[in-house]
């Protein structure tokens, strides 16, 4: 490395990687395109290697850029966490808290919980990252996460919520049209909704319930929200959280004695945030409301 690059160059590098072009990165950063180009040139000069290939179709990251990408993402998430922590004054519930949650939890459970939080704390702002991937709290990509697996990192403060039950469900209109299956074997005569790509958790379910396999699915989609929408639309039989279906009178629990999976749920945050007033308030509220959901 020829010199110690300015922090701005790392920020620009991350933006170009994320946006895929100089012009898009410039808009995201509020800079001009020539400024972004100069930043990339300066960073390439500093590290002594090309980071992007200029092609007629735009920029293409080199192998060196892809190797540096995780570090650039870590810098970006740390910078964002720094700004969140700097908001407000010590002991006050004000400023921003970033929450990571799965799509279904974020869409079906969190809106009412966050509404109550906002009513009680009018100066609290929430950033909600919805993804079925696990945002790494140790890298500060989020302040608090709702996870369906037990966290293993020792630097995390975790509270077990309990097990949310999953089961087969279908719309009444679908069952009126196709009939109610009386056994797991009867599912082969029905339209099943399931995942496109297998994960270790899905493979474990398939081993336990052989009827639940990719070839049997009439609709394959990796989004839990899309699966739930298809169930509600009457496409067929799919798996969803029992508490969600129980709140909808048109959804029927199918084969409850034959199929069931418990989804262990945890609220997690970095232990360094346990003394931060706004993070603690959000953490405790999520734990309390989600526990009530599981018990109900």
Strands 251-254 and 156-171: antiparallel
DSSP line for 182-229: -SSGGGGGS-EEE-SS--HHHHHHHHH-TT--GGGEEEE-S-HHHHHH
CATH 3.40.190.10 residue spans of the chain: 90-160+264-295, 163-262
Which residues, in sequence order, are CB contacts of 234 under 8 Å at separation 6+?
170, 171, 173, 174, 177
Judge whether residue 77 has pLDDT over 90. Answer: no
- In a 13 Å sphere around the CA of 100, the CA atoms on its Cβ side amount to 21
Q: How far is CA 82 from CA 124, 184, 261, in A?
A: 17, 52, 39
CA distance 285 to 116: 9
Architecture of the domain defined by 7-85? Orthogonal Bundle (1.10)
Judge whether residue 176 has pLDDT over 90. Answer: yes
Which residues, in sequence order, are CB contacts of 190 under 8 Å at separation 6+?
178, 181, 236, 237
90-160+264-295 maps to which CATH number? Answer: 3.40.190.10
pLDDT for res 150: 78
Range 173-183 burial, b when 16+ CB lie within 10 A, else e? ebbeeeeebee
- The third-level CATH classification (topology) of the domain covering 163-262 is D-Maltodextrin-Binding Protein; domain 2 (3.40.190)
CATH 1.10.10.10 residue spans of the chain: 7-85
Single pTM value for the model: 0.72
Tell me the pLDDT of the chain averaged across its residues.
88
CA distance 91 to 105: 29
CA distance 199 to 203: 6
Judge whether residue 271 has pLDDT over 90. Answer: no
Q: With bands split at pLDDT 50, 70 and 90, how would you rate the model's confidence at 276? A: confident
pLDDT in tens, 114-146: 999 999 999 899 999 887 666 566 667 788 999
CA distance 212 to 255: 13
* Secondary element (H or E) of residue 61: strand 58-61
Q: Which has the closest alpha carbon to 125: 99, 152, 161, 160?
A: 99
């Amino acid at each position: 490395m020829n010199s110690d690059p300015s922090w701005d160059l790392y920020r620009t590098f991350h933006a170009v990687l994320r946006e895929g072009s100089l012009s898009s990165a410039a808009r995201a950063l509020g800079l001009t395109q020539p400024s972004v180009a100069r930043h990339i040139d300066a960073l390439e000069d500093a590290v002594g290697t090309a980071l992007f290939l200029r092609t007629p179709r735009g920029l293409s990251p080199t192998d060196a850029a892809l190797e540096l990408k995780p570090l650039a993402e870590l810098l970006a998430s740390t910078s964002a966490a720094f700004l969140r922590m700097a908001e407000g004054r010590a002991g006050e519930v004000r400023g921003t808290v970033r929450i990571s949650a799965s799509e279904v939890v974020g869409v079906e459970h969190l809106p009412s919980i966050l509404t109550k939080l906002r009513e009680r704390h009018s100066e609290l702002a929430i950033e909600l990252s919805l993804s079925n991937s696990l945002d790494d709290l140790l890298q500060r990509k989020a302040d608090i996460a709702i996870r369906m697996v037990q966290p293993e990192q020792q630097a995390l403060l975790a509270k077990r919520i309990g097990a949310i039950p999953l089961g087969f469900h279908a719309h009444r209109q679908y069952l009126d049209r196709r009939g109610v299956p009386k056994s797991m074997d009867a599912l082969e005569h029905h339209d099943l909704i399931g995942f496109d790509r297998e994960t270790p958790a899905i493979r474990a379910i398939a081993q336990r319930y052989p009827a639940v396999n990719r070839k049997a699915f009439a609709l394959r989609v990796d989004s839990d929200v899309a699966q739930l929408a298809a169930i509600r639309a009457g496409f067929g039989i799919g798996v969803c959280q029992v508490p969600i279906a129980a709140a909808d009178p048109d959804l029927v629990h199918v084969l409850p004695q034959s199929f069931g999976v418990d989804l262990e749920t945890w609220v997690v945050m970095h232990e360094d945030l346990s003394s931060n007033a706004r993070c603690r308030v959000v953490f405790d509220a999520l734990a309390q409301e989600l526990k009530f959901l599981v018990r109900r």
